[in-house]
Structure 1
Amino acid sequence: MTSIPHITLNNGVEMPRLGFGVFQIPDEETTAAVSTALTAGYRSIDTAAIYGNERGVGRALAESGISRGELFVTTKLWNADQGYDSTLAAFDASLDKLGLDHVDLYLIHWPTPARDLYTDTWRAMEKLLADGRTRAIGVSNFQPAHLQRLLDHSGTVPAVNQVELHPGLQQRELRAFHARHGIATEAWSPLAQGAVLKDEAITSIAARHEVTPAQVVLRWHLQTGNVVIPKSVTPQRIHQNLDVFGFELTADDIEAVASLDSGMRTGPDPDTLN
Structure 2
Amino acid sequence: MIFGETYTLSNGVTIPELGLGTWFIPDEEAAGAVREAVKIGYRHIDTAQAYENERGVGEGIRTCGLAREEMFVTTKLAAEIKNYEEAVKAIDDSLEKMGLDYIDLMLIHSPQPWADFRGGDYAEGNREAWRALEDAYKSGKLRTIGVSNFKEQDLENILASCTVAPMVNQLLVHIGNTPAALIKYCEEKKILVEAYSPVAHGEFMRHPEVAVMAEKYGVTIPQLCIRYDLQLGTLPLPKTANPEHMRDNAALDFEISEQDMAILKTMQPLKDYGEFSVFPVFSGK
* TM-score grouping bracket, smaller chain normalisation: over 0.9
Root mean square deviation of aligned Cα: 1.9
Partners of 2:244 and 2:221 lie apart in 1 by 14
What is the CA distance between 1:177 and its match in structure 2? Answer: 1.1
TM-score scaled to structure 2, two decimals? 0.90
CA gap 1:271/1:24 in 2 versus in 1, 3 angstroms: closer
Paired amino acid for 1:65: G
CA contact (8 A) 2:7 2:16 kept: yes
Paired amino acid for 2:160: D
What is the CA distance between 1:272 and its match in structure 2? Answer: 7.4
What is the CA distance between 1:115 and its match in structure 2? Answer: 3.9
| Deviations, residues 192-213 of structure 1 (Å, cap 9, x unaligned) | 0112233333212211221101
Which residue pairs with 2:131 in the alignment? 123
| Deviations, residues 103-133 of structure 1 (Å, cap 9, x unaligned) | 1101001111534400011111111111111
What is the CA distance between 1:234 and its match in structure 2? Answer: 1.7
CA contact (8 A) 1:143 1:270 kept: no
What is the CA distance between 1:3 and its match in structure 2? Answer: 2.7
For structure 2, the residue ranges without an aligned partner over 5 or more in a row are 113-119, 274-278
Which residue pairs with 1:196 in the alignment? 204
TM-score scaled to structure 1, two decimals? 0.94
What is the CA distance between 1:264 and its match in structure 2? Answer: 5.9
What is the CA distance between 1:265 and its match in structure 2? Answer: 7.0
**How do 1:161-172 and structure 2 match up within 5 A?**
161-172=169-180
Partners of 2:270 and 2:137 lie apart in 1 by 34
More moved, 187-196 vs 94-103: 187-196
CA contact (8 A) 1:46 1:73 kept: yes
For structure 1, the residue ranges without an aligned partner over 5 or more in a row are none
Query: Identity percentage over the alignment?
Result: 37
1:147 to 146, 149, 155: 155
Which residue pairs with 1:73 in the alignment? 73
Partners of 2:19 and 2:8 lie apart in 1 by 15
CA gap 1:208/1:269 in 2 versus in 1, 3 angstroms: closer
Partners of 2:204 and 2:282 lie apart in 1 by 22
Partner SS for 1:101: coil
Partners of 2:194 and 2:2 lie apart in 1 by 20
| Deviations, residues 211-245 of structure 1 (Å, cap 9, x unaligned) | 1011011011111101011011222111101111x
CA gap 1:269/1:30 in 2 versus in 1, 3 angstroms: closer
| Deviations, residues 74-103 of structure 1 (Å, cap 9, x unaligned) | 001002333111111101110011110001
1:158 to 145, 155, 166: 166
| Deviations, residues 162-201 of structure 1 (Å, cap 9, x unaligned) | 0111112111121111011111000111110112233333
Partner SS for 2:160: helix
Q: How many positions carry a matched residue from both structures?
A: 272
2:266 is the alignment partner of 1:259: yes
Partner SS for 2:267: coil
CA contact (8 A) 1:143 1:271 kept: no
